[in-house]
Structure formats: C-alpha cells, structure tokens
Structure 1
C-alpha cells in the first residue's frame, strides 16, 4: 500500500505542470458553465475566436502559478484559484439575475451595499452552481493534503517564477486588456447588450477590460471644501401654495423641421404650430441645447439633463455616464424631493440598455415601467 502511495506521489511530482494545465482548463470551463449564457454557444464562439480563450485563461493561469510557486503544491493552488474564479463567476451570475447587468470591478467596492440590496430581490441561488464550486474546491484541498508538496525547489527560482508570472500579467493588463480596438473587433451577437457581450467574450476578459473603463476623474483644482461651501450657500425654499405638476418629456426622435430652410409653408400650415405656441408662451422657457451624443447614447443626454453634469467631462475613458456612477448623485429629482415632490420615471426601452434601471435609481427616480408590451392599435 505504501509502495503504491509513494508511486502516486512520485507521479504527482513528475507531472506537476500537466496538473496545472488540467486545473487551468477545469477552472476555465467552470467559469463558462456558471455564466448565465449557453455553455455550448460560448464555447463555440471562443473556438471561432481563439484569442478569447487566451484572454480568459491567462488570469487563471497566472494566479495558479503565483500560488504554486509560493507553496509548491499544485492542488493547493488549484483550490485557491478555483474558489476565487468560482465566486467571481457566481457573483456575476447573481447580479445578472437580479439586475440584468454583469459584474464589473467597481462592484467589488460595493459589496456591503450589494448585500443590503439583496433583500429587495427574489434570487435563484443556483444550488447546483454552489455545489460545483464547493465540491471541486474540496476535492482539490483533499488532494493537496494527501499528495502534499512536490519536490522542494530553491527559493530564488520560485521568486523568479512569481515575479515573471506577475510581469506577464501586468504586461497583458496594460496592453491586451485595455485595447478598445481588440474588444470591439469580436463579432458579438448584440453590441449594445453588455450582458450578452460578457457571456460571449467571457467574464474574465470583460472584467479586466472594464477595470479602468468607467472611471470618474477628479477635475483639475477640485476642492471638496469649496464644493461644500457652494452647496451650503444654496438655500432651498419650499414654494407657497399648490405645487405644480412637473412633466419632462425627452424625445430623441423630435426634430424641429422649421429650423431648416429646405421647407416652405405658410404660418397656417406650420407643421410645428402647436410646439411653437407652447414655446412662445410666457409660461415656458425654450431654446436649443447641446447634447453629448447624436444618433446614439441618448441615455447620456438623460443623465446630463437630470444632473447638470456633462458626460464628456466625467473621465477620459468613460463614454457612458450611466455606468460611471454607482452611488446616489444630486439631480432634479433630489432637488424637487427636498420640496416635497415625488418622482416617477418611464421609458419604453429595455432595462439593461445603458444600465438605465440601476443608474437612474441612483438619481432617486422611481422606475414605473420599462419595456412594456405595447398593444398595436386595431
């Protein structure tokens, strides 16, 4: 019996790199399995775009190697990496279930808020997924204990191995994982559905790509004390009498054709007669505004109008205000709320589009309905 066990440990020592390779493959496939997308579709998509396999496998391999060189136990490294990437994929699954929005690095800083908000959702905890993560990690821990460490190595080669592994990852992180052209080059099914993109390109790659994408840069000369002094100088007085109902309509398809000289018509035939009557009323304020997007990105216009902030000034890398903010921000809704108003938001689009459901909630707007099933007129 001891002879067979010694032979098994000898095989374990001689084929350590094969073990690490198999562990990497297992964790990679487990991440795809946990993903809410179709396992077969995602694997097929990556086989047609093999660079995605490298981009998703690399962080797994690096973590495995770093831990392995530190403890010289391949299965201990496998257990740790399996747990880390398993939990990351599981958190992504739960967030997509609850908000139809994938996990991004900024969410890690909001763990406490996420736990508090979890009570607002009826989530499927996916016991099968939990079982896969727990059981596979337990198996690797058991193998790590039974088989033990591989042959002892001098400290210097191990340190070199750790440094080289981290250096390779750092090079990829500041190169491949930041490449916008590379990210946009993959033929995804829906380029505007972030959840679908994460499912097809892989969580590991998309997570790292988004690491520095939706940041909020501090403006030059910014002083928190100065801003607080400005806020304290603003006095909000609740108006007397009956508060008027305030309705704001944003229509991205609206176009005042009378601005162009291409059309001729009489005042009686003015196609925008009703609009012009309202705009010229002494009770209205009218004019032209400059918006951050044309033809797309209308959610940024919504954000700019509601908050008074400009999307293009948020940061040098962010092109979506709705994905840059994860906390409540001052808006028209909060200002009117201080005067006793309640707010309501209505949009016919999908809730995942530009993260409206999550971001507009941060503006303290209560969502009435998103993506209703419109009935065709009979």
Structure 2
C-alpha cells in the first residue's frame, strides 16, 4: 500500500508540475497566436527543465510541511494567479510579467481598484474561497509517510532549486543552460519569454541589471565625453533677476483623442490645451511607454536618462533607485540652486516605491492621497480629480519666499476607462459603434475634466508673484481598444505607428512672456534642459550633452527615433549614432559605473 501511495504521489506531483508549466506557457503564447505544441516540440529541453524545477519545488515544500497534496494545491494556486496576471498584462499592455511586478503586491487593494473590469471582485473572492477550501481538504487525503532523513533530503533539494532560481544568471550555469537552448534575451523581453519560456525567462530577470555594460566602457572613453562638456553654461540671472518656480505636471494617460481618424466629437474635449498650445511652446511628448509604466516615463523626465538604453521591461524605481541613498536628477540640481522640492501624487505613496525613491531623487516633501488638502472626485468610485491635484500645486507655490519645484503625477485618467467614472458623458463621438464608442466617449469625458484642470492651473499661476513655469505632458496613451486605434494607424508604416501610439500632448506655459516655439516630438529625458533654458538657469555639462543630442534627435526611444521635423527616422547618421553612444556611456556610468562622469552632474 505504501508503494502504491508513493507511486500515486509521484505521478500526481509530476502531472501537476507539467500542468503548471503548460499553463504558464499557454498564456504566454496565446496573445501572439503561437502554437503551444510547436513551442514544446522546438524547446522540449527547456520545457522539461521548467517542469523539473516546479516538481522539485513542490516536493521540497511537501516534505517541509509533510503534506505533498497541500504543496500541490498551494503551488497550483500561486501558479494560477501568475498565469492570470501574465495573460491580462500581455493583453492589456503587451508586456509579460516580470519579477519586480510582484513588488506591487504590497499595494494589492490599490491594484484591484485599478484593475476593475478585468475580473469581478465576486469572482476573485469566490476563487480565493475555493482555494482555501481545496487546501483545507488536502489534510483529509491519505498522506505518504516519509522518514525524517528522506524529508530532509527533499527539503534540501527544494532549497537548492530555490538557490538555482535566484542565481540562474550566474556564469556557472551559463554553459549548461546554453547547451539546453536557453539564450539571454534581456534586451528583448518578448523574445525572451517566447523563446526561453515563461519560467526560465522570469527567473532570468531576477537580479538582472537594468542596463548592460557597453563593450567600450572605461575611464578613457567616459572622460573623453565629459571633456567635451567640461564647463558650465554661462551664469544667467533667471527671469527678471529671480529664479522662477518650476512645475512639472505628468498627467496620467493624457492623450489627444481628436488625433484619431474617422472620429468626430460633439465638442473639443481639449479646448483649453489647444488654445494654450497656440500661444505657448508646445508639441508632443515621445513617451517611452504605451498603456502603462508611468514610473518609467517619470524616471526619464526627472533624471534625463533614457529608457532606450535599458533592458526591455525594466522598472528603474523598483530595481535600482529604491536601493540607493541619492541619485542625480533635475530635483537635486534645482535643490543645489536653492529650490524647495515637492512631489504631489494623489494616490498611495508606496506605489512604485515612490515614498522611498523621491527622497533619493532629492524631494523635500511628498504629498499623497493621505495628506492632500483637496480630495474631490468626479464620482464616488473615481480617483482624486486633476482639479483637486492642481489646487494643491497652487497652494504649494504660495508657500514661503524661496523658488519652488513642484512635480505632480495625477491619477484621474488611470485605468479603468468606465462610463460614468469621471462624470456623466457629455461628449458625443460619431464614427465608432458599440464598446469602442462608449470607451472613447468615457475617455473624452475624463480628458475634458483634465482640460478644465489644466486651464485652471495655467490661469492660477498668472496671479503668482514669482515668475512661474509650468510644463504639462501625458505620460502615455491609454490602453484603448485596438478597434479604436486601428483606423488611424492601419495605413501607417511601422515607424509611423510607433510614433503615433507613443505621442502625448506637451505644453509649456508661464506667467511671463515665452516665445511660441514648436517643440516637436520631445522625449521626457530632454525636459530638464528645456526647462533650465526657459527659466534662465545655468545648465550643467550633462544637460549640455542632452541639448546636443536633442538638436539632432529630439525624440529618442526604443521604439522609434524622431528628427527635428517631427518625422520618424529609418536610419541614423554616423554623427547621430556617435552622440547616442556617448549618451549611453555616460548613462551607464551614472547607473552602475565608477563615477568617471561625476563632473557632468555637480
């Protein structure tokens, strides 16, 4: 009987490990319409390795708790949650699940609020209850009794497997894994997950660097670049002898819906922004992200570093900055010139570890949903409105006599896009039907409210005594239905499509005269130099380098490069390639290097 139970236990555990490995790969391949059968046939060794890892983890856990059926149930529940998350993240954002995404579990309640519409709370609660009952039921099953030495051996095997999982990138494992067909695709995460499989790709991303070291990175190469921009720009006296306040508003999912082809609106949902763009410097932001990844856009805007040089899928806030005590940024540069620095985000301050990252960047204060003075919402279930957040910014600008730098990250337009969430729809859309029409009308209503908030903010700063500069931009496009975007992008080239789906509104307004100058398509990493010039502030050598790059390539992203004429580039000149490489060398030095470029960011 004991032998039979052992055999049943082995077969059940092995079958469960296979089923979990298959489920992870199935949801990874499905959005790309790739065949699971073909993948398993081509990558059989990697599939078996993934299964073996899961098997050892289950058996090790089963030996630890002396109940292999409980271990199967618990692991199945965890893998099921991962599969669910992988499928919906791919479907919504086109990106797989990464290890650092799990850090958002500390914000589970906020994540569920954001993910409304993906799964009913009732269904999720029912699923959780089912898992609890199933795990409880495992204690009623007849167990395989193992002696202590056997249990200890299996626990040790499980622990060794865990060690392997966390050190899969180590050079010791490189050759045997390469012989099995595993390839390092950190620079292209889509290929990483499709070729290596979810399990191994996910593990490969644990503890990985966000930027690979350039082959020619050394002191001489970086020092040569730093030498080109050795001196500070000539000292300037601000605006009328005063250092102006600087406000950066990164508006969540702000996109101009009137750019969509074949769609007409009963009114312009961005009337104020369009009016202001006609009299102030304006253009579009070439966002490095689409549909999500707000902190990565924020990273570019605040640090001047480019996501285009980083490994795909990385989140610098969670993978790198959270572990530092200081980091050079626009914030720290302004602080060195006597500015007070305040960040405002009307949401949970722990999201993306902002509560830990903002002090690293140099912020003095962080105002979250807990301590913001204005908590107005456009409906009971909505996020704090953009108008409320703008009112908080105005209050900060009125404090004290020192110049202020205020960085606002709004929440109003965040997913989900739901009818009535931000007030009854008052904008009618023609040219779409069904869910696409409802979605775009609901989104346009949200944008209309944002437009009012921006109009209020620009008008309010006119009454501020100190010269004040306000930059407003959208962090990325909303995750609209394909049927909404396709009529506009369907006849575009690949480069034109990438430019369109990554462009958001950009406006720079002030309470002092600014030349109405088109900004074109501008990457967030160049916002710092532009703001310093308009504010009359001396530019550090690093900003001089960024300006040199911007003169030739104002739009730099992994997806597309955009020239001064606002057109996508299919090929770079040698001079442009050299400038980007210098930029890459300095960026690596700032992130991981030995400080050879320290003089560029005093």
Report the alpha carbon displacement of residue 350 of structure 1 after superposing the two structures with TM.
Answer: 4.3
- CA separation of 1:138/1:42 partners in 2, compared to 1, >3 Å: closer, same or farther? farther
Question: 1:224 is matched with which residue?
Answer: none
Task: State the alpha-carbon separation in 2 of the partners of residues 41 and 21 from structure 1.
Answer: 23
Task: State the alpha-carbon separation in 2 of the partners of residues 321 and 211 from structure 1.
Answer: 12
What SS does the aligned partner of 2:35 have? helix
Which whole-Å deviations, capped at 9, do the CAs of 1:72-127 have from their partners, x for residues lacking one? 33221210111111111212222223322211111111234565355455643399
Which whole-Å deviations, capped at 9, do the CAs of 1:52-79 have from their partners, x for residues lacking one? 2134223311220111212333221210
Which whole-Å deviations, capped at 9, do the CAs of 1:280-317 have from their partners, x for residues lacking one? xxxxxxxxxxxxxxxxxxxx9x97687323779x9xxx
Task: State the alpha-carbon separation in 2 of the partners of residues 34 and 132 from structure 1.
Answer: 22
Task: State the alpha-carbon separation in 2 of the partners of residues 192 and 126 from structure 1.
Answer: 35
Which whole-Å deviations, capped at 9, do the CAs of 1:241-299 have from their partners, x for residues lacking one? x984154788xxxxxxxxxxxxxxxxxxxxxxxxxxxxxxxxxxxxxxxxxxxxxxxxx
| Aligned counterpart in structure 2 of residue 202 of structure 1, from 197, 203, 225 | 197
What SS does the aligned partner of 1:145 have? helix
Task: State the alpha-carbon separation in 2 of the partners of residues 11 and 136 from structure 1.
Answer: 29
Question: 1:342 is matched with which residue?
Answer: 472
Question: 1:211 is matched with which residue?
Answer: 206
Conserved 8 A contact 2:60-2:158: yes
Conserved 8 A contact 2:299-2:317: no
- CA separation of 1:42/1:200 partners in 2, compared to 1, >3 Å: closer, same or farther? farther
Which whole-Å deviations, capped at 9, do the CAs of 1:103-161 have from their partners, x for residues lacking one? 1111111234565355455643399x97997799579647633423212412x331222
Question: 2:78 is matched with which residue?
Answer: 84
Which whole-Å deviations, capped at 9, do the CAs of 1:151-201 have from their partners, x for residues lacking one? 2412x331222113322442464246874994996699x998634642553
Question: 2:281 is matched with which residue?
Answer: 245
Q: How does 1:1-378 map to 2 (within 5 A)?
A: 11-35=4-28, 37=30, 41-113=35-107, 115-116=109-110, 119-120=113-114, 123-125=117-119, 141=135, 144-154=138-148, 156-171=149-164, 173-175=166-168, 179=174, 182=178, 194-195=189-190, 197-199=192-194, 201-215=196-210, 237-238=244-245, 244-247=280-283, 307-309=303-305, 319=311, 323-325=315-317, 327=352, 334=407, 339-344=469-474, 348-350=496-498
> Which of the two has higher C-alpha Rg?
1
Task: State the alpha-carbon separation in 1 of the partners of residues 181 and 97 from structure 2.
Answer: 22
Task: State the alpha-carbon separation in 2 of the partners of residues 333 and 36 from structure 1.
Answer: 43
Report the structure, 1 or 2, having the larger strand content.
2
Report the alpha carbon displacement of residue 14 of structure 1 after superposing the two structures with TM.
Answer: 4.6
TM-score (norm 1): 0.54
Conserved 8 A contact 2:63-2:152: yes
Task: State the alpha-carbon separation in 2 of the partners of residues 135 and 167 from structure 1.
Answer: 32
TM-score (norm 2): 0.36
Task: State the alpha-carbon separation in 1 of the partners of residues 113 and 152 from structure 2.
Answer: 45
Task: State the alpha-carbon separation in 2 of the partners of residues 176 and 214 from structure 1.
Answer: 11
Conserved 8 A contact 2:67-2:139: no
Report the alpha carbon displacement of residue 15 of structure 1 after superposing the two structures with TM.
Answer: 3.4
Conserved 8 A contact 1:46-1:53: yes
What SS does the aligned partner of 1:31 have? helix
- CA separation of 1:23/1:51 partners in 2, compared to 1, >3 Å: closer, same or farther? same
Task: State the alpha-carbon separation in 1 of the partners of residues 200 and 42 from structure 2.
Answer: 16
Task: State the alpha-carbon separation in 1 of the partners of residues 107 and 283 from structure 2.
Answer: 31
What SS does the aligned partner of 2:158 have? helix
What SS does the aligned partner of 1:340 have? strand
- CA separation of 1:362/1:46 partners in 2, compared to 1, >3 Å: closer, same or farther? farther
Conserved 8 A contact 1:214-1:320: no
Task: State the alpha-carbon separation in 1 of the partners of residues 155 and 210 from structure 2.
Answer: 30
- CA separation of 1:159/1:120 partners in 2, compared to 1, >3 Å: closer, same or farther? closer
- CA separation of 1:185/1:247 partners in 2, compared to 1, >3 Å: closer, same or farther? farther
Report the alpha carbon displacement of residue 325 of structure 1 after superposing the two structures with TM.
Answer: 3.9
Conserved 8 A contact 2:100-2:315: no
Task: State the alpha-carbon separation in 2 of the partners of residues 310 and 183 from structure 1.
Answer: 34
- CA separation of 1:25/1:49 partners in 2, compared to 1, >3 Å: closer, same or farther? same
Conserved 8 A contact 1:334-1:363: no
- CA separation of 1:322/1:246 partners in 2, compared to 1, >3 Å: closer, same or farther? farther
Report the structure, 1 or 2, having the larger helix content.
1
